[in-house]
């Protein structure tokens, strides 16, 4: 009898653990931030940005229909895809992402950049053609939403190995017209650990940077945060949440935990995340 109870208890514990891990890796949650922007125009207060990061198609495990439904419900003004839309392991399956991007861009103006996985994908141009998503590769675009003042949206490409370590200015290649320089600047940049290098040029320095890449540190512990992130190593600093630049606290960084899996097989205490940012006056 005791053995039977022990076996039942063990089975129940195993089933609970399996259900927990399944939920952690397949059910996304939505995180809302209200981020103050220095000198934000009154007309642009309340602009809402949805951030989708690290989808890793075709390995994405969350329910795509539910994600689209949630985006429709949130009614964002802009949608940013901050890299690693594709997984480098199967670049030939890009058509699955292509179909998804069409659904995203039908909701709101959408912008995307490369991550380290996208960088090695030979189908990058084909992925975005005809989807309605604007692909920014070291480029900037000024956009005026209905009843708003212009915003500047910038996107940097995945930096080279040398640039990540030696270059001081990772926004150097982005051309910003003189008449755009006073606009609120939003930057899509995949790697959060390079936050300071996106701020090197005072005339182009973004007010708010959107990043991913860290996958939330993979395993998160309360009071500690993530345990490991590529490019940051153990106990990384930038894995999720909102950060301020040490030298200028007006400059902000928001880091998404991402929506897809990494090569590490499991998320623990670290569900996939849809980020919704609302711009407010500082």
> At a CB cut-off of 8 Å and minimum separation 6, what does 12 contact?
none
* 29 or 23, which is more confident: 29
How much is the average pLDDT of 141-153? 98
> Residue 273's pLDDT is what?
98
Cα dihedral 202/255/258/98 (nearest 10)? -20
CA pair distance 36, 60, nearest whole angstrom: 32
**What are the domain boundaries of the chain?**
2-281
Residue 9's pLDDT is what? 46
pLDDT for position 3: 56
**What mean pLDDT value characterizes the chain?**
91
pLDDT of residue 193: 96
pLDDT for the residue numbered 13: 54
User: What mean pLDDT do residues 188-215 have?
Assistant: 96
Report the distance separating Cα 268 and Cα 225, nearest Å.
11
Strands 248-255 and 208-211: parallel
Mean pLDDT on 13-24: 64
List b or e across 93-129, with b for residues whose CB sees 16 or more CB atoms inside 10 angstroms.
ebeebbebbebbbebbbbbbbbbbbbbebebbeebbe
In tens, the pLDDT along 28-87 reads 999 999 999 999 999 999 999 999 999 999 999 999 999 999 999 999 999 999 999 999
pLDDT number for residue 25: 81
Q: What is the C-alpha separation between 86 and 83, in angstroms, rounded? A: 8
To which H or E segment does residue 81 belong?
strand 78-81
More confident residue, 277 or 157: 277
Q: Is the pTM of this model over 0.85?
A: yes
Q: What is the pLDDT of residue 15?
A: 56
Which residues pair with residue 281 across a beta bridge? 37
- pLDDT recorded at residue 265: 72
pLDDT at 126: 85
Lowest mean pLDDT among 4-8, 60-64, 222-226, 234-238: 4-8
- Most trustworthy range by pLDDT among 156-160, 163-167, 204-208: 204-208
268 contacts 33 by C-beta, under 8 angstroms: no
Q: Which residues contact 160 (CB under 8 A, 6 or more apart)?
A: none
Classify 83 in phi/psi space as left (phi over 0), alpha (psi -120 to 50) or beta.
left
CA–CA distance, 40 with 124 (Å, rounded to integer): 34
CB half-sphere exposure, 125, CA atoms < 13 A? 1
* Domain 2-281 grouped into CATH 3.60.21: yes
pLDDT of residue 65: 97
Closest CA to 93 of 62, 44, 48, 59: 59
Indicate whether 96 pLDDT > 50.
yes
Q: For 273, phi and psi rounded to 5 degrees?
A: -135, 130
Residue 11, pLDDT > 80, answer no
pLDDT surpasses 90 at 237: yes
Query: Residue 44: which of 184, 210, 218 has the closest Cα?
Result: 184
């Amino acid at each position: 009898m005791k053995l039977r109870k022990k076996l039942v208890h063990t089975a129940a514990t195993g089933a609970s653990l399996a259900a927990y891990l399944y939920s952690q890796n397949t059910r996304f949650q939505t995180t809302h931030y209200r981020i103050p922007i220095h000198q934000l125009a009154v007309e642009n207060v309340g602009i809402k940005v949805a951030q989708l990061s690290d989808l890793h198609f075709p390995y994405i495990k969350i329910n795509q229909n539910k994600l689209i439904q949630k985006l429709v419900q949130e009614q964002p003004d802009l949608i940013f895809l901050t890299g690693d839309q594709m997984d480098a392991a199967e670049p030939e399956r890009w058509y699955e992402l292509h179909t998804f991007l069409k659904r995203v861009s039908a909701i709101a103006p959408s912008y995307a950049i490369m991550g380290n996985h996208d960088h090695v994908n030979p189908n990058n141009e084909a992925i975005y053609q005809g989807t309605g998503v604007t692909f920014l590769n070291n480029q900037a675009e000024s956009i005026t939403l209905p009843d708003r003042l212009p915003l500047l949206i910038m996107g940097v490409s995945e930096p080279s190995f040398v640039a990540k370590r030696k270059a001081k200015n990772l926004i150097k290649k982005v051309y910003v017209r003189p008449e755009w320089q006073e606009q609120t600047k939003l930057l899509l940049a995949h790697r959060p650990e390079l936050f300071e290098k996106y701020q090197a040029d005072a005339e182009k320095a973004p007010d708010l940077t959107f990043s991913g890449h860290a996958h939330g540190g993979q395993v998160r512990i309360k009071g500690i945060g993530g345990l490991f992130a590529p490019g940051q190593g153990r106990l990384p600093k930038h894995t999720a949440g909102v950060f301020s630049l040490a030298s200028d606290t007006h400059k902000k960084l928001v880091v998404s935990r991402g929506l897809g899996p990494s090569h590490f097989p499991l998320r623990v205490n670290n569900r996939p995340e849809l980020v919704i940012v609302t711009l407010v006056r500082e």
